[in-house]
Amino acid sequence: MTHEHAAPEGPTVSQLGEGQLLDAFLPVATTEGPHVLVGPGDDCAVVAAPGGSVVLTTDTLTLGQDFLTMWPSGRRTTGADLGRKCAAQNLADVAGTGAVPTAVVVSLTLPGNTPVQWVTDFAEGLSRAFEELGATECALVGGDLGRGEELSVTATVTGRCVTAPVLRSGAPAGGVLVHAGVLGHAAAGLEALQCPVPGAWDAVPAQLRDALESAQLRPRPPVTTGPALARAGALAMMDVSDGLLRDAGRIARASGLHIDLEPRALEPHVNSLAPAGEAVGGDPWQWVLTGGEDHGLLAVLPVDSRLPPGVRAIGSCAPAAPGTVVPGSGANPGESSRRDPVGPAVTIGGRTSQQWFGRDVVEGWDHFEP
């Protein structure tokens, strides 16, 4: 993988000491906030945990695997884009627990030829994402800078609960499945980014293509909707990082029930992607049902709950047919990572995904799937 950068001018990280690099990085980053008791500069940061507990999540983005600096379509992933995406996917995990993000530590692994400007752009993108996504209590409190052959960033985010934490396992039969955010945009955007110019995606209206590519490069999960859903009584919740079918299956399995998606409720999502699907011969239903990385929120509420703004009902929960679903044992290991073929745990208008598509589909994203 060639490691190209937009700005070959200016110093690279190999020309600076670690301290100088931090002197460039930290002033651009948001390092103060209401929960920061001790910020960058000591062995540890100290973060307030108002309720006596803290929620905690971590995610890594690696060049060549999770993003490219230069895409076949001609778009670039800038440092600011990666800062935004790194923030967004971690903030969405905190939101998916019904919590409010409080602090971030970031570890950057950088090739020596990385422009310093890229690093400060990253810090700026991270801080912009806090603002734009409404994570106004969140600050960068520490981290680690190291060298490597492969550009890679890992963020760990803490959050404070506004209710008891909302897990995957609390959904009841009779509950209503709701969603906030986009579905399929990041997956369609990935295809657009991977399509050279000239190519099939030239037939897609430029504005739509641009919006979809942006959804992949800097997703905008509904971070403030997580705590709103918790306050509205959400009984189970997660963010959709690996595709709707796969992630709904996780809630179904963890809660020991069956989920049926309502096709008509998904039609607006499908329709928003239809012009792209028609132009490139793609299936908008597949993007909506199986596309990952949108980081919208999927939750289960008691029926007749008042839905927060931006939240729409998209399905319902029913008792599992005997033998079809492994009941949630509380031992469900692995954030977004069980190998869980959707099987009959999730249906679309009463049909399995195989019946729905008329063929076998990969029901979501797996980092290691052979």
Interacting residue with its own copies among 33, 79, 143, 292 (CB under 8 A)? 143
Task: Give the footprint of its own copies on residues 325-354 (CB under 8 A).
Answer: 331-340
Interacting residue with its own copies among 28, 55, 223, 248 (CB under 8 A)? 55
Other beta carbons within 10 angstroms of residue 297's beta carbon come to: 29
Cis peptide before 198 (omega within 30 of 0): yes
Among residues 152 and 353, whose Cβ is nearest to its own copies?
Answer: 152
Structure tokens at 274: 């239809």
Does residue 127 touch its own copies according to CB under 8 A?
no
What's the CA gap between 241 and 66, in Å, rounded? 13
Place of tokens 């239809």: 274
Tell the smallest beta-carbon distance from residue 19 to its own copies (Å). Answer: 3
Interacting residue with its own copies among 33, 86, 93, 186 (CB under 8 A)? 93
What's the CA gap between 98 and 95, in Å, rounded? 5
Using alpha carbons, list the distances in angstroms from residue 39 to 48, 126, 146, 220. Answer: 11, 16, 19, 26
Strands, sheet with 99-110, edge to edge from the N-terminal-most edge strand: 139-147, 99-110, 152-161
Interacting residue with its own copies among 4, 131, 149, 278 (CB under 8 A)? 149
Tell me, what DSSP letter sits at residue 139? E
φ/ψ (deg, to 5) at 219: -60, 150
Tell me, what DSSP letter sits at residue 42? B
Q: Which stretch binds its own copies (CB under 8 A): 20-28, 174-182, 212-220, 353-361?
A: 20-28
Q: Which stretch binds its own copies (CB under 8 A): 2-10, 130-138, 142-150, 187-195?
A: 142-150
Task: Give the footprint of its own copies on residues 250-289 (CB under 8 A).
Answer: 254
Q: Pairing mode, if any, of strands 236-240 and 346-348?
A: unpaired
Among residues 93 and 121, whose Cβ is nearest to its own copies?
Answer: 93
Region of 242 on the Ramachandran plot (φ > 0 left; ψ -120 to 50 alpha; else beta): alpha
CA dihedral defined by 301, 306, 310, 312, rounded to 10 degrees?
A: 50
Does residue 300 touch its own copies according to CB under 8 A?
no
Does residue 70 touch its own copies according to CB under 8 A?
no
Task: Give the footprint of its own copies on residues 170-229 (CB under 8 A).
Answer: none
Among residues 62 and 136, whose Cβ is nearest to its own copies?
Answer: 62
Question: Known binder of ligand: residue 81?
Answer: no
Among residues 280 and 345, whose Cβ is nearest to its own copies?
Answer: 345
Interacting residue with its own copies among 9, 304, 360, 369 (CB under 8 A)? 369
Does residue 105 touch its own copies according to CB under 8 A?
yes
Nearest to 346 by CA among 310, 314, 304: 314
What's the CA gap between 239 and 299, in Å, rounded? 9
Tell the smallest beta-carbon distance from residue 304 to its own copies (Å). Answer: 26
Nearest to 335 by CA among 129, 3, 96: 96
Q: Which stretch binds its own copies (CB under 8 A): 105-113, 180-188, 214-222, 278-286?
A: 105-113
Q: Which stretch binds its own copies (CB under 8 A): 86-94, 196-204, 299-307, 347-355?
A: 86-94
Does residue 144 touch its own copies according to CB under 8 A?
yes
Does residue 47 touch its own copies according to CB under 8 A?
yes
Burial call 207-225: b when 16+ CB within 10 Å, e when fewer: ebbebbbbbbbbbbbbbbb
What residue numbers does the annotated binding site for ATP cover? 143-144, 168, 241
Q: Which residues are annotated as a binding site?
A: 43, 57-59, 66, 93, 143-144, 168, 239, 241-242, 293, 365
Binding site for substrate: residue ranges? 66, 293, 365
